[in-house]
A and B are shown apart, each in its own frame.
Chain A
Amino acid sequence: MERYLNTPIKEIITSFPEVGKILEEYSIGCVPCTLGSCLLKDIVAIHNLAEDKELELMYRIEKTIYPERDIKKPVFKASKKEPDKEIRYSPPMKRLVDEHTLIKKWIGRIPQVIENVDIESESGSQLILDGLDFIRFYADKFHHAKEEDILFDYTDKNLDIIRTILADHEAARGHVKEMLKAIGEKDTNAIIGHLCAYKDLLTEHIKKEDEILYPWIDRGLSTTQVGELFAKFNEAEEKMDKGVIEKCQKFIAEAEQRIENFHRS
């Protein structure tokens, strides 16, 4: 069906005249159009039918194109279209939100890691060290630096909200420092304490940024500023060591397996 969604309507109607008749029933009059170059998906989207009507229409078109297929008839709930609650970010802001997603993946694993810290074993201490590297290079150098050196220039740094955010970054750096020290001293309790505190701090911090700070900054940005910000992020990333960033992304991809192996051993 995907293929037909991206096919000009004239082609579809030529092959399946029945589709033209169905569209007419929904007041979508593509049959007499001499061009017919609009894609099926655009036509359906732009007519903005009620949700159940759209489902019904798509079901009927699919059934016409693939009569042999066993297509499930959609259940039509008489529900009104929910208002769009999803936050829309500008492209530079979206990039920061995507970086949060990766950071949250590591934060989500911390409880499992804490459960079984074994700083004496080679693999146990390596897992903690690699996790710490992810925090230092990805969450801090790569991500927080973009916020501090670029994004916050578009705000008043004396505002409470920015001060709070900056204080969070500092607190996070404090935990990293303490963790490094604790690893050196093989102090398991201190490692657990700071890892836990980091998790709680960043969970709240990211929520604040995603839900309040970023949408607020976004609302104040002009189109020109959005473009500038996007270009500055690109420039900053080009200056960074790509190998280190890739290593961080790889760490997250492999973390689950490593934690599991660790549990088993």
Chain B
Amino acid sequence: MMDGCPGARTQDFREKETKGDESGKRQSQLRQWPIQLHLVSPEAPYYQKADVLLSADCVAFTVGDFHKDYLKGKSIAIACPKLDEGQDEYVEKIKSWIDDTKINTLTVMIMQVPCCGGLVAMAQQALQSAKRKIPVKSIVVSLQGDILSEEWVEA
């Protein structure tokens, strides 16, 4: 049986029943611009001492309550560990968050597909080379938007 890379395999969720309260309007929890990791300056004021969310690109489209449950109260950057170029710069930027901007915590949110693990690996690499240490959390999201795991990463 051949399934291909789970990161690129076609899957159809159209039959899925959507439940939950869809009434009312929710405000965006985004407190900054830009957000793409190549575009942001790690020393931007919104990162100073902040709780930072480093999210894989696909996550925000997958998790229904992304703004309310994960973005709220945090500063964000997004990246794709599978397709983005120049990932060495990513590691340097994360390191700068830790050492220069003195962020409080880093939460890395990724999809369940194997290639997404690269983003956590980048965070770990930055943490190991940084002088300061901070708590780093990894949250893994299923393709249908469920939280599969949420745990603190060993330095």
Contact = CB atoms under 8 A, between A and B. Distances in A.
Interface of A: 24, 27-30, 32-33, 35, 37-39, 42-43, 46-47, 88-92, 94, 223-224, 226-228, 230-231, 234
A38 B151 contact: no
A30 to B, nearest CB: 6
Given A46-B113, A91-B152, A227 B3 contact: no
A46 B82 contact: no
Contacts of B118: 37-38
Q: Is the interface of B mostly helix, strand, loop or mixed?
A: loop
A228 B105 CA distance: 9
Contacts of B3: 27-29
A38 B115 contact: yes
A226 B5 contact: no
6 contacts: A29-B3, A29-B4, A33-B8, A46-B6, A90-B135, A227-B134
B133 A29 contact: no
Interface in B1-21: 1-9
A230 B153 CA distance: 14
Contact size class for B? 20 to 34
Interface of B: 1-9, 51, 73, 82, 104-105, 107, 112-115, 117-118, 121, 133-135, 137, 151-152, 155
Contacts of B117: 38-39, 42, 46
Contacts of A226: 105, 135, 152
Most buried by A among B9, B134, B151: B134
Contacts of B82: 35, 37
Contacts of A29: 2-6, 9
B51 A224 contact: yes
A215 to B, nearest CB: 13
A73 B51 CA distance: 47
